[in-house]
Structure 1
């Protein structure tokens, strides 16, 4: 019984997008590992951006820094 935990930032993923993630991950496990979709569990956790960090920075600060780098010629 595969268990997959997807963590995303809480930024407005729609129910339809979440359903696509669940279906896509389930299909991947069926196609690659031959797992039974009836016993495949997929959980999506949404994390507030205040609780998500990348490269030692809160995610919003990290994104701002990356955007600033891209703007420079």
Structure 2
């Protein structure tokens, strides 16, 4: 039973984008690992942007 945990910053990810992530991640384990989609679990965690860091510094959402 695959369990996929996707973590993203909480920058207004839409329900449609989440649906696409769940669908795509599920299809990936079906294609690559030959797993059953009915037993594949996907969880999306939205992390507050101030709890995210990159290159040794806190990410504040202003960098592009």
Give the number of the structure whose alpha-carbon radius of gyration is greater. Answer: 1
- TM-score between both structures, scaled by the size of structure 2: 0.92
Report what 2:60 is aligned to: 60
Q: Could you list the runs of 5+ residues in structure 2 that have no partner in the other structure?
A: none
> Over aligned residues, Cα RMSD in angstroms?
1.5
Q: Could you list the runs of 5+ residues in structure 1 that have no partner in the other structure?
A: 68-73
- TM-score between both structures, scaled by the size of structure 1: 0.81
Aligned counterparts, 1:9-20, within 5 A: 9-20=9-20
**Larger RCO of the pair (alpha carbons < 8 Å, separation 6+):** 2
Aligned length: 64
